[in-house]
C-alpha cells in the first residue's frame, strides 16, 4: 500500500510490531498446547499424578508479557503524540464534511471539492461537519479523524511524495456514505502557490459560469443531484431549470415550473414543496448557510445546464 506522509513509517512499524509479536505468541502457545494435550493425555497417563506449581515459571510468564505490553504501549504512544502536535507555520485548510461530500477552504477563502497541498510542508486541517458524524481518512498518509457537528476537530500531516491519493469517509453516515470520496493531490510548492493565487476569490478573473459550477460542486449539491441526467437521491440538475414538475405541498399534488423562486425555496425550505417520487427530509436546508448571492450563483449554474 502507498505510503506518502512523514507519519506512515511509525504507524506501520507499530502495526507490524504488534502483529509480529502476536503471531509468534500464537504459534508458540498453540504448539505447547497441542504437545501437552498429547503428552499428558489420559491414555498415556492412566494414573493421575499431582503436578505442583513452579514459582520460577509463574514469574517468567508474568514478567515477559508485561514487558511486551509496555513496549507496545510505548511504540503506540510515541507514534500517536506527533499526530496531535501541529508544528508552527502549518498551512491551515478548513474542511467541511456533509452528507455526502467534502469542501476544502484555503487560507485565501477559495473553496474546492478536492484537497490540493504542497509537498514537504506541514498542513493542518480544521474539521467540522454540517450534519452527522463523518471521518476524514487518508489511507496513504495513515491519518484518520472524526469530523463532528458542533465540535471542532483537527488533523495534520506532511506529504513526502508528489502523487494523487484517495480520501474516504470512514464513519457510516447514511445512504451514499460509500460515495463520500474525493482526491488529495500533492504538488511542488511553486505549483501550489500558483494554483492558489490563480483562484484567489478577491482577485481572480474567472468566467461566472465556471465559477458558479465550481461553487455548486464545492457545496456538495452534486452528491445528491447529478448533472448528467441520471437520478441519484435527488433529481438531476440537467435541464431542471424551466422544466415542469409535480410537487407535493402538504400532501397535495401541484404542477410547477422550475424558476428562480422555486429553486431558492427548494434550497432554503426543501420540505415546502417535495418533488413527487423523492424522499422528503433528505435534502438539508441551507438556510443560514448559503447567502442570497450564493444561491444566485447556483441558479446561474443550473441555467447553464439547459
Looking at beta carbons only, is 168 or 268 nearer to Cu ion? 168
Residue closer to ligand HEC, measured from CB, 185 or 295: 295
- Residue 134 binding target from ligand HEC, Cu ion, none, CB below 5 to 8 Å by type: Cu ion
Q: How far is CA 94 from the centre of its chain?
A: 13
Minimum distance from residue 114 beta carbon to Cu ion (Å): 17
Q: Say how many Å lie between the first and final Cα of the chain, rounded.
A: 43
Residues that bind ligand HEC in the complex, under the rule CB under 6 A: 99, 219-221, 223-225, 233-235, 240, 245, 258, 263, 266-267, 270-271, 274-275, 278-280, 282-283, 286, 298
CA distance to 25, 62, 140, per residue, from 55 (Å): 21, 11, 48
Query: 143 vs 223, which CB is nearer to ligand HEC?
Result: 223
Question: Which residue reads 423523492 in cell numbers?
Answer: 278
Parallel, antiparallel, or unpaired for β 115-118 and 182-187?
parallel
- Among the listed residues 220, 130, 141, the one whose alpha carbon sits nearest the alpha carbon of residue 176: 220
> Residue 116 or 219: which CB sits closer to ligand HEC?
219
Which spans of this chain sit near Cu ion (rule: CB under 5 A)?
134, 169, 173, 180
Shortest approach of Cu ion to residue 283 CB, angstroms?
Answer: 17
Pairing of the two strands 111-112 and 134-138: unpaired
Residue 227 interaction partner, one of ligand HEC, Cu ion, none, beta carbon < 5-8 Å per kind? none
Q: Which of 18, 256 has the CB closer to ligand HEC?
A: 256
The H or E element that residue 123 is part of is: strand 122-129
Query: What is the smallest separation between the CB atom of 237 and ligand HEC, expressed in angstroms?
Result: 8
For strand 153-158 and strand 115-118, is the pairing parallel, antiparallel, or unpaired?
A: unpaired
Cα–chain center distance at 136: 3
- CA distance linking residue 247 with residue 229, whole number of Å: 19
From the CB of 97, what's the least distance to Cu ion, in Å? 6
Q: What is the spatial distance between Cα 46 and Cα 32, in angstroms, rounded to a whole number?
A: 21
Residue 245 contact among ligand HEC, Cu ion, none, beta carbon within 5 to 8 Å by kind = ligand HEC
| Residue 169 contacts which entry, ligand HEC, Cu ion, none (Cβ below 5-8 A, type-dependent) | Cu ion
Alpha carbons 117 and 119: distance in angstroms, whole number: 6
233 binds, among Cu ion, ligand HEC, none (CB under 5 to 8 A by kind): ligand HEC
Residue 180 contact, options ligand HEC, Cu ion, none, Cβ 5-8 Å cut-off depending on partner type: Cu ion
Amino acid at each position: 500500500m502507498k505510503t506518502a506522509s512523514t507519519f506512515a513509517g511509525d504507524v506501520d512499524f507499530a502495526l507490524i510490531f504488534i502483529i509480529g509479536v502476536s503471531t509468534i505468541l500464537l504459534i508458540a502457545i498453540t504448539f505447547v498446547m497441542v504437545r501437552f494435550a498429547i503428552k499428558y493425555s489420559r491414555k498415556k497417563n492412566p494414573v493421575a499424578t499431582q503436578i505442583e506449581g513452579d514459582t520460577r515459571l509463574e514469574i517468567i510468564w508474568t514478567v515477559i508479557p508485561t514487558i511486551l505490553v509496555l513496549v507496545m504501549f510505548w511504540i503506540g504512544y510515541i507514534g500517536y503524540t506527533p499526530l496531535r502536535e501541529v508544528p508552527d507555520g502549518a498551512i491551515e485548510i478548513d474542511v467541511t464534511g456533509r452528507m455526502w461530500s467534502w469542501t476544502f477552504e484555503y487560507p485565501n477563502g477559495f473553496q474546492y471539492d478536492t484537497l490540493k497541498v504542497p509537498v514537504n510542508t506541514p498542513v493542518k486541517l480544521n474539521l467540522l461537519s454540517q450534519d452527522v458524524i463523518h471521518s476524514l481518512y487518508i489511507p496513504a498518509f495513515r491519518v484518520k479523524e472524526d469530523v463532528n457537528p458542533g465540535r471542532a476537530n483537527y488533523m495534520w500531516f506532511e506529504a513526502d511524495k508528489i502523487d494523487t491519493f484517495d480520501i474516504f469517509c470512514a464513519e457510516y453516515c447514511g445512504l451514499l456514505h460509500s460515495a463520500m470520496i474525493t482526491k488529495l493531490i500533492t504538488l511542488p510548492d511553486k505549483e501550489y502557490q500558483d494554483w492558489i493565487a490563480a483562484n484567489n476569490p478577491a482577485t481572480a478573473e474567472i468566467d461566472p459560469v465556471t465559477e458558479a459550477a465550481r461553487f455548486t460542486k464545492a457545496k456538495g449539491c452534486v452528491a445528491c443531484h447529478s448533472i448528467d441526467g441520471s437520478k441519484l437521491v435527488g433529481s438531476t440538475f440537467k435541464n431542471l431549470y424551466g422544466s415542469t414538475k409535480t410537487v407535493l405541498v402538504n400532501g397535495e399534488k401541484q404542477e410547477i415550473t422550475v424558476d428562480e423562486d422555486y429553486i431558492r425555496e427548494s434550497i432554503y425550505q426543501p420540505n415546502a414543496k417535495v418533488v413527487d417520487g423523492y424522499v422528503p427530509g433528505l435534502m438539508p436546508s441551507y438556510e443560514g448557510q448559503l447567502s442570497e448571492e450564493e444561491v444566485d450563483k447556483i441558479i446561474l449554474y443550473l441555467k447553464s445546464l439547459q
